[in-house]
């Protein structure tokens, strides 16, 4: 499902909302102004807990043409993860995020089957970009096996982890949609994740907290274009 939204969007961008202080009215305005431009919206746990998942139902159902991703980063007992995806499915989310290294047997195998039965995309968080992420990266060979077993709709890899993005693209080809968050905040430039093989970059505060989110979004897109143009000879992913 996600691949269709990526193909239809004008910009290779997804907007992330994590700040628990943001209200539903702001989200509605953001969706209305960016409809058709971005791939969709990734709503994080702080925002979902603060506003209440079920409070989003009416809003999400009003935009059947928008991709909403519940960024829960599920990593729990199988029945807990199944309960969680059932809740977000009822509200109208099209995808949910789980953590890849939680394991396959008795965990992601069950979650994957439940997502499939509900018609919800499962995306796997491959790694992070915080200082201790080297611990997770030490399990990378194991995580790649899990990806193959689960066969998710997409993968989430920080834009700063260019080596991993490139390896995943070379290993799996175009089977999975790769989302890359962390532009600006983790030191990656807009366009860098795309250059190394990501399909979509995820931007949050730089756009959401701007006086004019739409103008900020267009600036990020222009930054992507300039980066890809300047690095066209080395890019293995998207090129202009």
Average pLDDT for the chain: 94
Question: Which has the closest alpha carbon to 53: 14, 15, 1, 89?
Answer: 89
For domain 2-230, the CATH architecture is Alpha-Beta Barrel (3.20)
Q: Is 226 exposed, middle or buried (0-12, 13-18, 19+ CB in 10 A)?
A: middle
Does pLDDT of 240 surpass 70?
no
Rounded CA separation 188/88 (Å): 31
Does pLDDT of 213 surpass 80?
yes
Q: Phi and psi of 104, rounded to 5°?
A: -95, -65
Determine which of 25-29, 66-70, 186-190 has the lowest per-residue pLDDT on average: 186-190
pLDDT-above-70 percentage for the chain: 98
Question: Which has the closest alpha carbon to 186: 172, 165, 171?
Answer: 165
Question: Which has the closest alpha carbon to 70: 41, 90, 99, 50?
Answer: 41
Rounded CA separation 63/4 (Å): 16
Question: What is the reported pLDDT for 59?
Answer: 94
Rounded CA separation 48/31 (Å): 16
Does pLDDT of 44 surpass 70?
yes
Q: How confident is the model at residue 184 (pLDDT cuts 50, 70, 90)?
A: confident
Question: What is the reported pLDDT for 224?
Answer: 96
Does pLDDT of 238 surpass 90?
no
Does pLDDT of 216 surpass 80?
yes
For residues 103-129, one letter each, b for 16 or more C-beta atoms within 10 angstroms of the residue's C-beta and e for the rest, the string is: ebeebbebbbebbeeeebbbbbbbbbb
Mean pLDDT of 235-239: 74
Question: What is the reported pLDDT for 239?
Answer: 58
The pLDDT tens digits for 115-148 are 999 999 999 999 999 889 889 999 999 999 999 9
Question: What is the reported pLDDT for 233?
Answer: 87
């Amino acid at each position: 499902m996600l691949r269709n939204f990526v193909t239809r969007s004008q910009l290779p961008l997804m907007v992330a909302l994590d700040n628990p202080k943001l209200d539903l009215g702001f989200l509605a305005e953001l969706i209305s102004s960016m409809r058709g431009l971005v791939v969709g919206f990734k709503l994080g746990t702080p925002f979902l807990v603060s506003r209440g998942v079920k409070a989003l139902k009416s809003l999400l159902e009003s935009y059947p043409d928008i991709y909403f991703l519940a960024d829960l980063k599920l990593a729990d007992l199988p029945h807990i993860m199944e309960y969680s995806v059932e809740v977000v499915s009822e509200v109208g989310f099209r995808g949910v995020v789980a953590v890849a290294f939680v394991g396959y047997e008795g965990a992601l195998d069950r979650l994957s089957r439940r997502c499939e039965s509900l018609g919800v995309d499962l995306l796997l968080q491959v790694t992070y970009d915080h200082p201790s992420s080297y611990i997770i990266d030490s399990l990378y060979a194991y995580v790649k096996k899990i990806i193959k077993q689960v066969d998710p709709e997409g993968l989430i890899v920080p834009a700063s982890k260019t080596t991993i993005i490139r390896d995943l693209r070379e290993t799996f080809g175009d089977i999975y949609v790769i989302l890359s968050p962390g532009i600006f905040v983790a030191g990656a430039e807009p366009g860098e994740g795309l250059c190394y093989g990501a399909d979509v970059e995820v931007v949050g505060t730089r756009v959401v907290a701007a006086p004019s989110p739409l103008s900020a979004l267009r600036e990020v897109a222009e930054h992507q274009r300039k980066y890809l143009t300047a690095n066209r000879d080395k890019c293995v992913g998207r090129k202009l």
